[in-house]
Amino acid sequence: MNRSLIDRLDLACWRFAAAALAAPGAEVVPQPDWLAMATPRRPIEWRNHVVRTPLWQRLHVEYFALPGEIAVLHLCAFPRPEIALPILGFDVITGRERATGCFLDLSPTVPEAEPCIAAWGAWVAPQRAALGEARVLPEWTAIFSPEVVAVRPEGLEGFEAGVALGEATLLGCLRDTRQPRAEPQAMLAAQARYIAAQRRNDRTRRMLAGCVGPEMADSFIAECLFPDLAAA
């Protein structure tokens, strides 16, 4: 069956959410039904899955789509404050027949997490050529590691390679339980810097505001997409 890239991304989102829910010790974090609360200006699909595990205090998988036009898969996972892990971020944006962006990173938090980032970067290096053309990142993305993947996927093969790389990274993070301890306040400070930078991504806000209005876009970003973890 010939599926559009939007349909393929939809299926990938379900796999990512299922993987998060199947992680050892995973617990669902109840969320508002943002789609039910929205008064969309156009028909949309919107799903949000949030879980916590013994290693990850918040793992969020989002699917947002204008059916038949564009879809976004967003994944962000923040480690528990006492666990020395990087922040996992993954985003894919696609139309029916062409993907415009694939972004993947294990972003710096505390020094004890640096070996994890370096090992992941070495694993990713030989796979980069299959992903597509590199994209220039804006200034706010200084929070990312030097190993960040930021590409415009090349055809179906590049799209599938990017999704597979994100899925393998997620599964590896969920399986790896041997992590050094972190100083909680240092980790929370690193996460706060990451969240503050991500909230400066005006492209995300503009897209959401264009579909559900600026008030709901701002609420979703502050309460679900990139919430204040120190207050959680």
In angstroms, the CA 206 to CA 72 distance is: 14
CB proximity list for 231: less than 8 A, separation 6 or greater: none
Taking the domains of the chain in order of start, what are their residue ranges? 5-231
Q: How confident is the model at residue 1 (pLDDT cuts 50, 70, 90)?
A: very low
Banded model confidence at residue 232, pLDDT cuts 50, 70, 90: low
Residue-averaged pLDDT of the chain? 95
- Across 181-201, average pLDDT: 96
pLDDT above 90: residue 3: no
Please count the other Cβ atoms lying within 10 Å of the Cβ belonging to residue 41: 11
CATH of domain 5-231: 3.40.1500.20
Query: What is the pTM (predicted TM-score) of this model?
Result: 0.96
Check pLDDT > 80 for residue 80.
yes
| Residue-level pLDDT at 2 | 62
The string of pLDDT tens digits covering residues 110-157 is 999 999 999 999 999 999 999 999 999 999 999 999 999 999 999 999
